[in-house]
Amino acid sequence: APVVSVRGLRHSYGRGPDAVTALGPLSLEIPAGEFLVLVGPSGCGKSTLLRLIAGFEHAAEGAVEVFGERPEPGGRAGIVFQQPRLFPWRTVGDNIGLALAYAGVPRSERPERVAGLLDRVGLAGTAGRRVWQISGGQQQRVAIARALAGGKRLLLLDEPFAALDALTRERLQEDLRTMSAETGTTAVFVTHSVDEAVFLGSRAIVLTNRPGTVALDLPIGLPRT
Ligand code: ADP
Ligand code: ADP
């Protein structure tokens, strides 16, 4: 079964004459282990699609299923935004530990789980550091670790590296590609950058904001499944 299934999806904001069509009609399936990138001009609905998959919004028309269920916030997808959105004066370990607590992981198991997650994002040994003391790139690594906390098998990323300098961005791209391939994590990654899309993606969906045009669905790179 696909990890994400989108059928006849249309979404708009507002009602009646003021309604803004944000997305659709769109149908797609994302199989386990795929690294799907969403590209397209500003306003074409990339963030909207991510929010629908995350369960922050529910579809105006059509259906979205994640692991066969209607998505809900705090459900089976982990999400990473352009800004890390961590608690800056708390430790790296606390920030991830909170997500583990939310996922129902018992307190006694959390330190080991935190260490394992930090290892996966290349930050082994940093659990005791305060978030404000680490760099922006490291903070975004913590945000990825937090999104994976609780055994999340689906990662949603909304331009997560757009605010980073070029060198840091390249390192994070490389490490995310390795980590997701090694662990078989399914990913949906929004980006404005064609370079980034081609480097990371196993498939790309190009959305448009012209009424009546359909989304382009392109296999890129090697399929991972
Ligand atoms: P993208 O991420 O591709 O830039 P968005 O998903 O943010 O696109 O937006 C798609 C369309 O929906 C745009 O026309 C945008 O103005 C509109 N939109 C997005 N969020 C809202 C909102 N909360 N209320 C009203 N319109 C919105
Ligand atoms: P709530 O508990 O928020 O009232 P409901 O389960 O009653 O939610 O559904 C609210 C709306 O969402 C209904 O119109 C329903 O058809 C629609 N809906 C249900 N399942 C899905 C799904 N998987 N994807 C998108 N929309 C759905």
pLDDT tens for 78-111 read 999 999 999 999 999 999 999 999 999 999 999 9
45 lines ligand 1 (CB under 6 A): yes
Q: Please tell me the distance from the alpha carbon of residue 133 to that of residue 31, in angstroms, as a whole number.
A: 38
22 lines ligand 1 (CB under 6 A): yes
pTM: 0.87
64 lines ligand 2 (CB under 6 A): yes
Cβ of 121: how many Cβ atoms within 10 Å?
A: 23
Task: Note the pLDDT tens digit of each residue in 165-181.
Answer: 999 999 999 999 999 99
Average pLDDT for 36-50: 93
42 lines ligand 1 (CB under 6 A): yes
Q: Please tell me the distance from the alpha carbon of residue 13 to that of residue 1, in angstroms, as a whole number.
A: 30
- For residue 219, pLDDT over 80 is answered with no
Nearest CA to ligand 1 atom 15: 43
Share of the chain above pLDDT 70, in %: 96
Buried b / exposed e over 16-39, threshold 16 CB at 10 Å, is eeeeeebbbebebebbbbbbbbbb
Q: What pLDDT sits at residue 198?
A: 92
Q: What pLDDT sits at residue 223?
A: 56
**What DSSP state is assigned to residue 196?**
H
Name the more confident of 17 and 38. 38
Task: Note the pLDDT tens digit of each residue in 141-172.
Answer: 999 999 999 999 999 999 999 999 999 999 99
